[in-house]
A and B are shown apart, each in its own frame.
Chain A
């Protein structure tokens, strides 16, 4: 590459970076929203499933011809098609042919021959849809068929996966396909230097996690500052260009988790404040909060993680503030600190929301049970928790820039994704991202048997039943996978299994590579694997012929999750690709879902119940359904609100 080429590339990167920022996507309102929705629906009809399947069949018909091509002829075909894509003049026929060619490339490079449904999935991606493909239907392969086409057309494609390990693994296994298609690729992982990053970002296909790429993009935005055009940026930055050369196209794996669940999590670039005299204040707030009486001085709202001081509580505070007034500059601030200390005390529980690792508070993802070591809560909550645990109070951090994943993904010119379970959130995908969801059928029919859910009054009875069920399945030799909601629950279950002398392994979604191996063995005869919901995602549980004969993997879900999707995802680990399998959910009225989202109803039903087991009672089923839909509605509302705020900020606040 000559110096001129490098400059040109850098200028282009700058141009695209500025463009990405200006692509401020506003949520439409009122009539505009209606019109946009109508237009979207119309456009969707042109690439609905029936049409996609037809096209996929057409691609399949091209296979014999392409299979017979010698290597050089194949390369010639690739070059020709690539040219058409790069010029943006690829006709529909060329798209189909290109897909057939890439399929052939993949099969020659890795030996994997894509099924027709996978072709349909890839076509859905190329048409900017979210493809719902049942777990184990070869999403990785589908993605690697679509990515080259997107890279040809959009110059750069970002392929998102849930963790660094998967990003690296996928990139390595796919790079041969990409290279054959005349494309370069790389994976962005945590431990890369800025130079390495810049190099990888300049490649056509970049695998990575949302966190990594968003953070790099955000850093770019900070360094770009308030420039309006690429030219002014060029003058300002000189030789150092942006890392991420714009947001052109992206392909999101696990789209529901990334785009919906995580969508509103803001990515924050912060630095520690230099002046830090607050630690004392947090300690004091903690001391004060311990003296307050939950009966008299405050009320706790567990559902929203909020604490409200009563008038009496305020009075106590006022008298305390009067005694010594060093840090409590303002009464309001003092009250806020105390409230926060109370929240830390009442709503944040070690093992559920956080863990202590090496004397540091580490946030635990409530959805997945994963550790999030480099995240911290905002506005002193983190410090309050540290104070509560008598740890050293870290310095409060000052936000430099902030971007929600939702906003980030909406800044892409082209967005598509794959997921196991998108249909539940199809409405939101359409509304927020303007992306329709297509449910791609499975290659082989699913023969998993899902037994009806068992409901219990108390948690004890539930756990007893779970352990009993695990034992009986284990005795038959069938592999069992048990899903828990939190790290704490998985440890609890592990203890119970220990007592019975059942050998098992516990996964906490913390060590990705080890877990991938463990979970790959979860399909062996007699294996018992206890895992949090998210553990080992992206890795297939392969059955041995023996375990397949015994009825395949049996999945036990120990709690109903706040989102139906998560339940479906976990259950989907059994019965892949036409394998046999079974699943059952166990739930009790003492589960967090009920105590948080339908506490009154739960209590009433519990007090009326005559037996410990409530299975078959319509009313208790209703309670869980209601709690689940309330939880989903709450999350949805929260996300809408964040979206609105994002819009507002973008529109009415000076850009920094």
Chain B
């Protein structure tokens, strides 16, 4: 641990002063992991400062009559080694003083006050400029509105209200569970471009409701809500309220309640909307809007607000649950400490916490938050670049500057002139360069597997149509789509009363002609040939009829999987001859057809060796099939092999707007065929969607990234 020195050369600056906390400042006691803390809160400026027990005692002794020196001596007598050192006291006093929580003389020092104001403004502007991914626009003070709403809700903001809410939400969930199919199909409508306008409206309303939740609960427990505004999250506006007054709450459950208030309100809205959705007829606007609300309110809270890795509701809830204030900052400090201690081997460093449990939490949290940040940065950048290339690029560069170049700059500065490094500077620089070299080698030299993804559809090489052989009513069905059939196995049986009666007639006629023939043989041989001809004609007519009757039984033409209409659905209905029922597809011989853009396909064409490919059927998670003999048709096509690959069919490829079939694409596509490997025991169902993983020849990550970026830009920018 770093040595704390008792004395400071600047002690005389504070020692004789007689400061005191400003009269309007409030102090609340909080407990974190068994330790006592005191939060100093200035409601006027909404500033907070957290003091530990001993510091609090010191600040408490400062009454405007005692000097700092006297107060410090008292604390020193009482607490010995636990007492703050002179540098620590100076830090404390100056922090409080600069947060305007402490007044030193009866008359304020106007110049310093003004300068501090300027500093704060500059700081604010700076932090806004750096964090353009989260831009805040202050709109108005919502305290009046919230104060008006809060009394009516007060009776239910308690644990019983929470329980009732919980029951209601669970009930709604179970009710929704039985409508999962309708839920899923509604999703497609919801994300259709025609719905986007409504989606945004609903989103803003839901989020306003969410923020009201924070505000009302904060008010309920005595906090002020001084600010309402819009937060531009990656340029998407989202309302916010300043409920930071809750940091001063003594009870951590109250703090958690404020943090969770937004989600509670929003999920409540989502639950109500779920019931509205269930009660309204499909196709109505209310139905659609209710679905939108359910989707935005439900999903966004779970995915977004509850996520503790960013500084949103989930983070504050988690930090209070774990009783670690300032968790994000502390955990980064913890990581920094490990770096300095174990990588740079500095001696004078101290960790933010000495409790092993807390250190563990901080470490785990720090690593996940860092990883998430990087992940988020890359995803958001790529996403925005995909939509709005130029803005995405600017955003990416800006954020990279804030998240990357600045820390790197700080590292360089620290390495070159950090006082802590005085002795180990050459070593530290060596270690850093070593790490950079290692990283560069990993990225630039060592080949890494290069994997690209695609989506394909299973196609069969042999397929025979199954048709209705004879008009009739479907009597019974023996196969469903997807069933595997042997050759000749019955798919469906029809009945045709008309045909039956015709057969009866034919039989009767045959019997008649036969009896005529017998009679002729016995009585008049000259009539025999005519009679025989008639018999022959009647026999052939009957046979024809019987053949037709045979065709009432629909059989599989060859072994294979039946796909197409379900004959069960047709029982009792009339089907006319020649009508297509479905297909029997030979599943032994299937292939996957994938459609790729020019740039995607170029990866495959560029390869010297044929890439290895893995097929993952969507319907069977976990199943991986090795693909073989990849063949690409290297000419642009404008038709997809299957509608399910296109936008209209739920796929990812843009189809032409004026196209009804959902097959014609906007841009030229390259069809790639992949056949499953010889020994693979996989019977792909034709028409089924599969994911393809092309494993290209290994190359260093840098090469891969440049290649990808190049291809991304190639597609967007006309050079």
Q: Are A656 and B12 in contact (CB under 8 A)?
A: yes
What is the size category of the interface that chain B forms with chain A?
Answer: 20 to 34
- Within the assembled complex, what's the spacing in Å between the Cα atoms of A429 and B109? 33
**Contact call A228/B111, Cβ cutoff below 8 A:** yes
Decide if B105 touches A226 in the complex (CB within 8 Å).
Answer: yes
**Chain B residues closer than 8 Å to A637, beta-carbon distance:** 417, 419, 422
Q: Which residues, 382 to 424 on B, are CB-close (under 8 Å) to A?
A: 417, 419, 422-423
Q: Is B13 an interface residue (CB 8 A)?
A: yes
Interface locus among A247-255, A287-295, A540-548, A646-654: A646-654
Q: From B14-22, B50-58, B490-498, B534-542, give the one contacting chain A.
A: B14-22
Which chain B residues border A277 with CB–CB below 8 Å? none
> Are A304 and B97 in contact (CB-based, < 8 A)?
no
- The verdict on B11 contacting chain A, using a C-beta distance below 8 Å, is yes
Q: Which of B1-38 contact A (CB under 8 A)?
A: 4-7, 9-14, 16-17, 19
Q: Does A69 contact B (CB under 8 A)?
A: no
Chain A CB count within 10 A is highest, among B7, B9, B16, B110, for B9
Q: Report which residue of B12, B98, B104, B112 has the largest number of chain A beta carbons within 10 angstroms of its beta carbon.
A: B12
> Of A7-15, A393-401, A606-614, which binds chain B?
A393-401
Report chain B residues within 8 Å CB of A634. 422
Interface residues of A in 295-333 (CB under 8 A from B): 301, 304, 329-333
Q: In chain A, residues 327-366, which have Cβ atoms closer than 8 Å to a Cβ of chain B?
A: 329-333, 336
A332→B14 contact, CB < 8 A = no
Chain A 550-605 residues near chain B, CB threshold 8 A: none
Do residues A332 and B10 form an inter-chain contact, with CB atoms below 8 A?
no
Closest chain A residue to B16, Cβ basis: A656
For A22, what are the chain B residues with a Cβ–Cβ distance below 8 Å? 111
Assess the A399–B76 pair: CB atoms within 8 A: no
Report chain A residues within 8 Å CB of B83.
330
B13 and chain A: residue at smallest CB distance: A653
Contact present for B97 and A399 (CB under 8 Å): no
> Does B94 sit within 8 A of A, measured CB to CB?
yes
- B94 in complex: contacting residue of A329, A333, A641, A653, CB < 8 Å: A653
CB distance from B642 to the nearest CB of A (A): 58
The reply on B90 being an interface residue by CB < 8 A is yes
- Quick one: which of B63-98 are within 8 Å of A by CB? 76-77, 80-81, 83, 85, 90, 93-94, 97-98
Q: Is A655 an interface residue (CB 8 A)?
A: yes
| Distance from B119 Cβ to chain A, minimum over Cβ atoms (Å) | 8
B109 contacts which of A378, A645, A655 (Cβ < 8 Å)?
A655
Given the complex, which residues of A lie within 8 Å of B19, measured CB to CB?
654
A379 in contact (CB, < 8 A) = yes
Q: Is A77 an interface residue (CB 8 A)?
A: no
> How far, in whole Å, are A653 and B98 apart by their CA atoms in the complex?
8
Interface residues of A (CB under 8 A from B): 22, 226, 228, 266, 301, 304, 329-333, 336, 378-379, 398-402, 634, 637, 640-641, 645, 649, 652-656
Closest to A638 in B: B419
Contacts A654-B14, A654-B17, A656-B13 given: A304-B111 contact, CB under 8 Å? no
The smallest C-beta distance from A600 to any residue of chain B, in angstroms, reads: 11
Tell me if A228 and B9 are in contact (CB < 8 A): no
Given contacts A399-B9, A649-B10, 17 further A-B contacts (CB under 8 A): A228-B109, A266-B9, A329-B76, A329-B77, A330-B76, A330-B83, A378-B7, A379-B7, A399-B11, A640-B417, A653-B10, A653-B13, A653-B94, A654-B19, A654-B97, A654-B109, A656-B16
| Interface pair A228/B110, CB less than 8 Å apart | yes
Q: Could you tell me the dominant secondary structure of chain A's interface residues?
A: mixed
List the A residue with the shortest CB-CB distance to B85. Answer: A332
Q: How far is the CA of A310 from the CA of B305 in the complex (A)?
A: 50
B81→A331 contact, CB < 8 A: yes
Which of B6, B77, B111, B422 makes the CB contact (< 8 A) with A332? B6
User: How far, in angstroms, from A399 to B417 measured CA to CA in the complex?
Assistant: 30
Contacts A266-B9, A637-B419; is A653 near B81 (CB within 8 Å)? no
What's the least CB distance linking B609 to chain A, in Å? 52
Among A266, A336, A649, A653, the one with the most B-chain Cβ atoms within 10 Å of its Cβ is A653
| A336 and B6 in contact, given A330-B81, A399-B12, A656-B13 (Cβ under 8 angstroms) | yes
Q: How far is the CA of A301 from the CA of B423 in the complex (A)?
A: 10
Q: How far is the CA of A330 from the CA of B86 in the complex (A)?
A: 14
Q: Are A649 and B81 in contact (CB under 8 A)?
A: no
Q: Let me know if A332 and B81 touch, CB within 8 A.
A: yes
B247-298 interface (Cβ within 8 A of A): none
Nearest CB of chain B from residue A636's CB, rounded to whole Å: 9
| Given known A-B contacts A22-B111, A330-B76, A331-B81, A654 and B104 have beta carbons under 8 A apart | yes
Cα A401 to Cα B13 in complex, Å, equals 8
Q: Give the residue of B13, B76, B109, B417 whose beta carbon is less than 8 angstroms from that of A649.
A: B13
A649 to B12, CA, bound (A): 11
**Docked-complex contact B81 and A656, CB < 8 angstroms:** no
CB distance from B76 to the nearest CB of A (A): 7
CB neighbours of B7 from chain A (8 A): 378-379
Q: Are A654 and B81 neighbours in the complex by a CB distance under 8 Å?
A: no
CA–CA, A266 to B11, complex, Å? 14
CB neighbours of B110 from chain A (8 A): 228
Of all A-B residue pairs in the complex, the 4 with the closest CB atoms, nearest first, are A399-B12, A330-B80, A652-B94, A379-B7
- A641 lies within 8 A of B419 (CB): yes
Which B residues lie within 8 Å of A656 (CB)?
12-13, 16-17
Q: Can you list 20 contacts pairing A with B, beta carbon distance less than 8 Å?
A: A226-B105, A266-B9, A301-B423, A329-B76, A330-B81, A332-B4, A332-B85, A336-B6, A378-B7, A402-B9, A640-B417, A649-B10, A652-B98, A653-B90, A653-B97, A654-B13, A654-B14, A654-B93, A655-B109, A656-B13
Residue of B nearest to A398 (CB): B12
Bound CA span A553–B97, Å: 61
CB-CB < 8 A to A402: which residues of B? 9-10, 12
For A333, the chain B residues whose CB sits under 8 A away are 6
How distant is A583 from chain B, measured CB to nearest CB, in Å?
Answer: 33
The CA of A500 and the CA of B513, in the complex, are separated in Å by 163
Measured between beta carbons, the chain B residues less than 8 angstroms from A655 are 13, 109, 112
Instruction: Kindly state the separation between the CA atoms of A136 and B422 in the bound complex, as whole angstroms.
Output: 39
CA distance A641 to B83 in the complex (A): 27
The smallest C-beta distance from A160 to any residue of chain B, in angstroms, reads 24
Q: Which B residues lie within 8 Å of A332 (CB)?
A: 4, 6, 81, 85
Q: Give the chain B neighbours of A331 by CB distance below 8 A.
A: 80-81
Query: In the complex, what residues of B have CB within 8 A of residue A652's CB?
Result: 94, 97-98
Chain A residues near B6: list those with CB within 8 A.
Answer: 332-333, 336
Q: Which of A228, A332, A641, A654 is the most central at the interface, judged by chain B CB atoms within 10 Å of its CB?
A: A654
* Minimum Cβ distance to chain A for residue B406 (Å): 11
**Which B residues touch A649, using CB under 8 A?**
10, 13
Complex interface: chain A residues within 8 A of B10 (CB): 402, 645, 649, 653
- Max chain A C-beta neighbours (<10 A), residue from B11, B13, B14, B112: B13
Which partner residue on chain A sits nearest B102 by CB separation? A654
